[in-house]
Structure 1
Amino acid sequence: MFTINKVNVPIHSEIFKSLKGAYYADSYAFCSNKGDRVALQVWLDHASKTPAWVTFLMATRNKVVSIFGLKNIGHLGDIDTKKLISEYKVGDKVGIFTLLFLSDSEAILIDSDKHLDVKISLYTHREKAHLVSISTVVHVHNFMGKLYMFFVAPMHKLIVPSAIKRAESSDS
């Protein structure tokens, strides 16, 4: 049986340094049955298998938030499938995010606007084979960021485990 656990942000991860002053943070860990992959490959594999209902929610989000001055960020699965993992470097776009930090064991992606900064970390635990953590850290800058998180945080808690389960249980 595939298990996903809500855990603390790994203390040895680079994203752990972003926790100070965070408005929201969470982390989910699971043992991958997909073998050893570099952290960015885990993200690319997961983003390419985004559930249809999540894509629908993202499209709805993009329409609604434009009324309030937030940007249309696209969809999680909007990645360049032809780009090789070795071609990515810090500063590159990876779908809706920008690559902020990159090592074999961790990839940190960021999306920022005037209301909030969202960082996502894919961290592969080298001391425990196949253990992966996906962490999210959000810093809000104003009331609109807080209002946005009021609606997004409960959905985030459903989306992340569902997306992990789909990506890790699919054949490929």
Structure 2
Amino acid sequence: MKSWTLSKIAVPAQSVLAPSLATADFADCYLLPDPDPGRDLLSIWLQLSGRTPAWMGALMRLRNRVVRLVGLKDLGGLAAQTGGKPAEHFRIGDRLGIFTLEERWPGELVLGDRDKHLHVRLSLLRLTQPDGGSRLALSTVVHEYNRLGWLYMAVVGPVHSLIVPLMLRQVMRQLRRERRA
């Protein structure tokens, strides 16, 4: 990780999520360092999500309690509980924390969660930089299906835009400390 910076960017045009942007109700993307350019993206996702800060876990537990009251599902925690299962053994349709593995390409990983209210998709895309290095684009695209999906995103969208950069910065700092140790 040569450069440790996090920046908000548009969802990259080369992402498999890009064609769905025209009908999306919410979309954002963060560009972050690639912690290990030689590793596959699912391994990196497991590494990143496995370092979810405790405060994010607490927010997810609160979210799950509140949304059950209005008929939305309890998603559990963000981090995938793999039981030691290596990344290469996961298949399309497998659950990874709050998301399901939807697509897996050499340069992009797509996770999602769909119910009758909305479809959330997350992409982890490796972008090659002019200097030969790489960065990761972490995109979120949401399609709302009804009023409850709209209401949910009216609350979660602004919160998402605040907590995701905070969480990513904290995870990246932790990875940097681990590499130095």
In the alignment, the residues of structure 1 paired with residue 17 and residue 83 of structure 2 have an alpha-carbon distance, to the nearest angstrom, of 26
Residue 157 of structure 1, aligned match among 157, 161, 172: 161
Counterparts of 1:138 and 1:100, CA distance in 2: 14
TM-score of the superposed pair, with normalisation by structure 1: 0.93
Q: Which runs of 5+ in 2 are unaligned?
A: none
Q: Partner of 2:23: helix, strand, or coil?
A: coil
Paired residues of 1:36 and 1:129 also in contact (CA < 8 A): no
Partner of 1:109: 111
Q: TM-score, normalised by structure 2?
A: 0.88
Specify the alignment match of 2:66 in structure 1: 64
Task: Tell me the distance in 2 between the aligned counterparts of 1:39 and 1:32.
Answer: 10
Whole-Å Cα distance in 2 between the matches of residues 150 and 35 of structure 1? Answer: 36
Is the 2:103–2:109 contact (alpha carbons within 8 Å) kept by the matching residues of 1?
yes
Aligned length: 172
| RMSD of aligned alpha carbons | 1.6
Cross-structure match for 1:87: 89
- 3-state SS in 1 of match to 2:77: coil
Whether the 8 Å contact between 2:35 and 2:44 is mirrored in structure 1 is no
Q: Which structure 1 segments of 5+ residues have no match?
A: none
> How far apart are the structure 1 equivalents of 2:103 and 2:125?
11
Rounded Cα–Cα distance in structure 2 between residues aligned with 1:64 and 1:35: 39
Q: 2-side partners of 1:43 and 1:20: how far apart?
A: 26
In structure 2, relative to structure 1, the CA distance for the partners of 1:21 and 1:5 (3 Å cut) is same
- CA deviations over 1:67-94 (Å, ceiling 9, x no partner): 1000000010142141111111211111
Identity over aligned pairs, percent: 38
> Take 1:148 and 1:14, find their aligned partners in 2: how far apart are those partners?
25
